[in-house]
Amino acid sequence: MPGFSMDAAAEQRFNVNLSILFTELPLLERPAAAAAAGFTAVELWWPWVDSPTPERAELDALKKAIEDAGVQLTGLNFYAGQLPGPDRGALSIPGEESARFRANIDVAADFAQSLGCKALNALYGNRVEGVDPAVQDELALENLVLAARAADRIGAVLLIETLNKPESPLYPLVTAAAGVAVVDRVNEATGRGNAKFLMDLYHLSMNGEDLPSVIDQYAARTGHVQIADNPGRGAPGTGSLPLEELLGRLRKQGYEGWVGLEYKPGDRPSAEAFEWLPAEARAAR
């Protein structure tokens, strides 16, 4: 598998998403597995897909596993329903799901703060049949404002992510422009400026976007980057995306934040899915 050059890899700060890699292991074993693979930073989707407000003992156990592994939590999703699965977020869905998102806001923010995590990701939510999209968008803005204020309280950014239409046909944010427009609306409503774009190069490529143009236009508005190759959502080098070149372009445009590894390991243990990345480049500097 083609890999990143040491020089190119050394320019980036990589973390591992423990909700898509190392999932062959129980949740509490994944931080240590990432550390054993040479990484010092991790991120997570909300781990409790059925509960926005898990028992304190569950939160404490995960916190201890992360601390014992000696890794830094650099990103955390708010509650987003069944992810992975048919759901793609909760905050714009009227009724119970929106209420569950609101109940999760301070729980997630407090957990992130306890581990020094400075980025919280809020997935928008699918369109609901029979509900006016404008009603969903109004609800989404209300909830994103609450989330942005909670993130600001702990000194964190609020991330707004675009997904891709082939895999998430009911998700309304499937272009970079749409995601950034929501970022702007949230910042205008709060006046705090802590909402940022989450640039997922895999999702944007699946939507057929011109990735160099997206980078040039939105790098300065970007608070986090995630990568997987396309096709297949595998490790860099398993598809055709020029990820080394694209990340280099991001650096030239001034992006110095985290690059989350959010790809599928394939038919092998996750620990074997990092041969593209020199071992010396896995520890954050």
Cα within 13 Å of Cα(79), Cβ side: 26
253, 217 in Cβ contact below 8 A? no
Q: What spatial distance separates the first Cα and last Cα of the chain, rounded to whole Å?
A: 25
- Residue 177, CA atoms < 13 Å, CB-side half-sphere: 4
Would you name the residues annotated as active-site residues? 161, 262
Question: Where exactly are the structural domains of the chain?
Answer: 6-277
Sign, Cα dihedral of 115, 112, 35, 225 = negative
Q: Which residues contact 285 (CB under 8 A, 6 or more apart)?
A: 10, 13
CATH class of 6-277: alpha beta
Q: What is the pLDDT along the chain (285 residues), one digit of tens a residue?
A: 677 887 888 889 999 999 999 999 999 999 999 999 999 999 999 999 999 999 999 999 999 999 999 999 999 999 998 767 767 799 999 999 999 999 999 999 999 999 999 999 999 999 999 999 999 999 999 999 999 999 999 999 999 999 999 999 999 999 999 999 999 999 999 999 999 999 999 999 999 999 999 999 999 999 999 999 999 999 999 999 999 999 999 999 999 999 999 999 999 999 999 999 999 889 986
